Structure 1
Amino acid sequence: MTTRAMPDHAPISPSLWRATLSGLSGSLVGIGLARFSYTPLLPAIIAAGWFDPSAAAYLGAANLAGYLGGALLAAPLASRFRTAAVLNAMMLLATAAFFASAWPIDFAWFFVWRFASGLAGGVIMVLAATSILPHIAPARRGLVSGAIFMGVGLGIAASGTLVPLLLRQGLSETWIGLGMLSLVLTALAWGGWPKHAASGTAAHHPHAPRPSLRLRALYVEYGLNAAGLVAHLLFLVDYVARGRNEGLAAGAEYWVLFGIGAVLGPVISGQIADRIGFGATLRLAFVIQAIAVLVPAINPNEVALMLSSFVVGAFTPGIVPIVLGRVHELLPHAPAQQKAAWSRATTSFAVLQAAAAYGMSYLFAHDGGNYALLFILAAAATLLALVIDLAAGRSRR
């Protein structure tokens, strides 16, 4: 694969579309399936007596902890081994975790494999797109990054459709089925990753300059945005089913809308960013997302809640190509620095999302199940991200 700098409007070659397909497959396996398929599996795991509710919840948290570890480990791995080899290995690790989870030997066994699946996802999130986008012309990076992260949305959609179908065959069979799908996607991605680093700065920067104020602000904004998504990710279905007394079937329908939005969101946001720039798209995203997140707090009608579910679903993976593109805007022609910055941003996302998940769960358990408070806090986190971005934009350093 060529490593020459690409003209701004150069067409995307077949080999780069092949790399994009590998990126989509990687995000689908490492994030989409490895993280989001556990949510619909959780009731079945408890009902089958594999683990009690509290242990099952801790196993869900193991994936988040592994994801944080993967985000921190990605850069050191990429500095020692070829990025393509690391990505292939992580997809194999996530695949192995699916097969291993079909046999609940004990809590420690399951915890290790849930952690491993999260670690694989964290590494893939940091390395997949950053290995591909430097080869893409700047005017096409929004489209390509959106296509890569559409895999996350496909995983969310699969969590509400494919997993319930597999569960009809049994719980162990479901894990094996997910492993088989992951294995196919791994084989599809295997030979498509870029073989060489893109041209630009050297691969290693022992004396790289300190991040700019805007870049450091972006890390905080991305973390706050992650916190702003948690209310819908954790409580949307429960809010509809119990908070509005509409039942689990209705809650599942809103989750399907959430999943549809998640599939379309990355491509839509990426194409908008190609037209108006990633910085402007990021601020627009914060505004729209804050409004959509706040909707359930004001006891909306059915149409408003449907829009809220779809829009927040779209931004759950849709914010990723926007922030990654913004990193590239702030660090042009510096692939190694871009990768390091994206690792820091992913770490910030993982830390604040996990903190918000535990914090909101605590509040919900201790304030009588106040759904409105959770959505208000989530919207406030997103608005704070907007304020920080505007303030950093006006600062001159």
Structure 2
Amino acid sequence: MAPHLLGNGRAEFASATPLRTNCVPPPIDHLSNRHGIMTMAVRFHSARRHDLIVIASLALAPAIGLGIARFAYALVLPDMRADLGWTYADAGWMNTTNAAGYLLGALLAARSSARFGAFRAVVAGAWACILALLLCAFFRHPLPLNVARLLAGTGGGLTFVSGGVLAVRVAQRNPERSAFMLGLFYAGPGLGILLSGIAVPAILYRSGPESWATAWAALAILSVPLAIGLLAARGENIVTSSVAREQPRYKSMLWLLPGYAVFGAGYIAYMTFMIAWVQNSGGSAGFQALFWCTIGLATIASPWLYAAILKRFRHGNAFAILTGITAIGAALPLLSEGVPPLLTSAAVFGSAFFSVVASTTAFVRRNYRPEQWAAAIGMLTIFFGIGQMLGPIATGFINDLMENLAGGLWTSALLLFVAMLLAKLQRDQSFGP
């Protein structure tokens, strides 16, 4: 065979066998490509698994700030009220103070995140809540107890708002699972509700009706490992901008803002006085624990139950549907007596009330640019906080006026139905006026 000189100066031998243009690639190339695809797939799944771990870690923040530091108050309230001689209005005022602290913490969240980083704000808020729980164990006078509840609310606001900003950013990296991831973060309070429901009734039953201080101390101890678990998300300590380049058009949330305020007033009344209702209905310590744990478990299950609603429904429809479910849960004990309606109420209410909060975040993500999210969520939080402040004290006065809890709980359910109707009027910017 004589060599033929190619244009590039390389020699090539002629062959009697014709050149085949449909040859398969050499095995080494095939293996190399396959290895590259497998490597990319492993990295993708590893990143997604990492993001799920981060979201689960961030969910521990509202477990402390809301599930324990805020909502566990309902478990100790009947014993505190009997021991300290409070009226229902006095009892409601304590949660109004907590809601005021939450509003303060939410307002501080943007500045804290801009200066120190969002993750550090979350951690600071969690440990502030633990300190507040300890203070509740050491004082009996209303003034220091109100200060402690204010501190717990401030810490809860920091954890929830700053943690929510981080959760939204993680969810953005996983658009196909963003609704589920947001739901997972907002299900975090369910863990706190579940743990406090296991611990507090058992402590009060074993130690007597004046052992509420011991229950507060136990809640503080219970929160410590959850605060340590936040370290799994320490790599997400982004420093956010405290001011958006262009402020969002708040009139685009014309109906959602008042609806969220009314929702805040309605749901917090149920979560403040419902254990007192169960106790007055003859519920034992064991049943109180079962009722509260049912709320917690239902909240934990909410991402699997309602992710499709958050993803599929636009305008204010997801908010309206989930608020309607919450309202039905709140009304059930008032419509029928007995154990089944109470447990059904706990399951229905618990499954939906924090998904309502997730629906507001989903609305903001659809209707505003990323640099406007913090400002839009902040405005929603202000209206929500105002509702939470007014709800407990107003329903407490109604309870005192009617000399029972039914009036306040009916008010709670009615407010939730009003919030649902307001949300039905809300339109997305891209679909309505």
Higher mean displacement: 382-391 or 271-280? 271-280
Cα separation, partners in 2 of 1:304 and 1:247, compared to 1, 3 Å? closer
Higher mean displacement: 248-257 or 61-70? 248-257
Separation (CA, whole Å) in 1 of partners of 2:386 and 2:117: 27
Tell me, yes or no, if the aligned pair for 1:226 and 1:352 is still in contact at 8 Å: yes
1:210 aligns with 2:252: no
| 1:103-114 equivalence runs, <5 A | 103-104=138-139, 107-114=142-149
Separation (CA, whole Å) in 1 of partners of 2:139 and 2:343: 37
Structure 2 counterpart of 1:196: 238
Deviation at 1:122, TM superposition (A): 1.0
Tell me, yes or no, if the aligned pair for 1:230 and 1:356 is still in contact at 8 Å: yes
Q: Which has the higher Rg, Structure 1 or Structure 2? A: 2
Deviation at 1:303, TM superposition (A): 3.7
Q: Which amino acid aligns with 1:210?
A: R
| 1:22-41 equivalence runs, <5 A | 22-41=57-76
1:286 aligns with 2:320: no
Separation (CA, whole Å) in 2 of partners of 1:286 and 1:181: 31
The one of 178, 186, 198 equivalent to 2:227 is 186
| 1:239-388 equivalence runs, <5 A | 239-242=277-280, 245-248=281-284, 252=288, 253-276=290-313, 279-299=316-336, 303-331=340-368, 333-334=369-370, 336-369=371-404, 371=406, 373-388=407-422
Deviation at 1:241, TM superposition (A): 4.5
Tell me, yes or no, if the aligned pair for 1:150 and 1:267 is still in contact at 8 Å: no
Write the deviation string for residues 83-135 of structure 1: whole angstroms up to 9, x where unpaired: 12211211221222233333228554433222111100011111102122223
Separation (CA, whole Å) in 1 of partners of 2:266 and 2:96: 18
1:225 aligns with 2:263: yes
Higher mean displacement: 88-97 or 283-292? 283-292
Tell me, yes or no, if the aligned pair for 2:117 and 2:239 is still in contact at 8 Å: no
Deviation at 1:24, TM superposition (A): 1.1
Cα separation, partners in 2 of 1:96 and 1:157, compared to 1, 3 Å? same
The one of 164, 170, 185 equivalent to 1:129 is 164
Cα separation, partners in 2 of 1:34 and 1:370, compared to 1, 3 Å? closer
Higher mean displacement: 173-182 or 18-27? 173-182
Q: Which amino acid aligns with 1:179?
A: A
Separation (CA, whole Å) in 1 of partners of 2:269 and 2:134: 31
Tell me, yes or no, if the aligned pair for 2:134 and 2:217 is still in contact at 8 Å: yes
Cα separation, partners in 2 of 1:67 and 1:267, compared to 1, 3 Å? farther
Q: Percent identity?
A: 23
TM-score (norm 1): 0.82
**Alignment size in residue pairs:** 377
Give 3-state SS (helix, strand or coil) of 1:204's partner: coil
Structure 1 counterpart of 2:423: 389
1:119 aligns with 2:154: yes
Structure 2 counterpart of 1:162: 199
Q: Could you tell me which runs of 5 or more consecutive residues in structure 2 were left unpaired when the two chains were aligned.
A: 1-43
Tell me, yes or no, if the aligned pair for 2:115 and 2:239 is still in contact at 8 Å: no
Separation (CA, whole Å) in 2 of partners of 1:366 and 1:266: 39
RMSD: 3.2
Write the deviation string for residues 206-261 of structure 1: whole angstroms up to 9, x where unpaired: 54242242x2322222222223324532343444454xx54455862444433332
Cα separation, partners in 2 of 1:370 and 1:161, compared to 1, 3 Å? closer
Structure 1 counterpart of 2:26: none
Q: Could you tell me which runs of 5 or more consecutive residues in structure 1 were left unpaired when the two chains were aligned.
A: 1-9
Deviation at 1:271, TM superposition (A): 4.7
1:53 aligns with 2:86: yes
